Amino acid sequence: MHWPTLFFCPGCLLPSMMSLCDSCKRSIQPNSLPFDLEREGLETCYPVLISAGTTRNLLRRWKEKRGNILRSHLFRMDPALQRSLFQLDVVAVVPIPQSPNRSERRGHASSREVARFIAERIDRPLVDLLDLQKDDPAHMTGKSRFERDHSPNPFRISENFSAAHPLFQLMEERVFSGKDIPLLLVDDLITSGATLARAATVIHGFLPRARIYPSGLGLRPSVRPELPESEFPSDVPEVRSRSDPDRSDHFP
């Protein structure tokens, strides 16, 4: 007897005929409104998606395991958000640097991937302005907010960003003419804004006139009080009882 190949939706892990089930596709929460993260040194934040419920599951799986199927569904920008980003008229899109070991294990540098996606959407150059401190591979993940705020800054200005860089002169000209330098600083997922704020501190030390607009693929609604998480669909979709004959007998 030949059994058809069974696919599992990468969002809910339920059997699915397609790569991503319709329920998970519909539950992806795009974000259209920039808002304030209320972190010192950071301007208005521009997250692409609201990371709650199924969207949060999908984002986590994409971050840990990559996957082009997830990428194609998650890397979509609300037209209103794209217009707001255009209007910012940033000089460059700067990714948050990630440890090469971790990126290698996961098969991708997720923040750089998100930064490249946004840079293409708004037609601005992607610039690796930041690097990790050589001797401090401190990871923010899994640390409390207190620990995040009180450990040494893991970032530094990249050695590759020197006077020879094409954007260096443009930034210098802006400084001499008294203009601000708007930059879009991009992480993969924004949980508290602490990582972005620390990266902003390093950039401000180097470019005091920088105006740093944070962005990311997903934002936890917990850092945005006007978006209560309870209004979003739960992480695990309900299994409909009619698809389970044993249960429907007991619960008519």
- For 246, residues 6+ apart whose C-beta sits below 8 A from its C-beta are none
**Residue in 12, 42, 94, 199 binding Zn ion, rule: CB under 5 A:** 12
DSSP 8-class letter at 45: B
Q: Are 34 and 46 in contact (CB under 8 A)?
A: yes
Closest approach, Cβ 102 to Zn ion, in A, equals 27
| Structural tokens at position 224 | 């945005």
- CA neighbor of 181 nearest in space, from 252, 53, 93: 93
Closest approach, Cβ 9 to Zn ion, in A, equals 3
When the beta carbons of 61 and 156 are compared against Zn ion, the nearer one is 61
Contact call for residue 24 and Zn ion (CB under 5 A): yes
How far is CA 16 from its chain centroid?
27
When the beta carbons of 23 and 133 are compared against Zn ion, the nearer one is 23
Contact call for residue 21 and Zn ion (CB under 5 A): yes
When the beta carbons of 193 and 237 are compared against Zn ion, the nearer one is 237
Closest approach, Cβ 106 to Zn ion, in A, equals 22
**Residue in 2, 6, 9, 180 binding Zn ion, rule: CB under 5 A:** 9
Contact call for residue 11 and Zn ion (CB under 5 A): yes
When the beta carbons of 216 and 237 are compared against Zn ion, the nearer one is 237
Q: Are 129 and 94 in contact (CB under 8 A)?
A: yes
Q: Distances in Å between the alpha carbon of 225 and those of 35, 57, 149, 229, 230?
A: 11, 21, 21, 9, 12
Contact residues: Zn ion, CB under 5 A: 9, 11-12, 21, 24
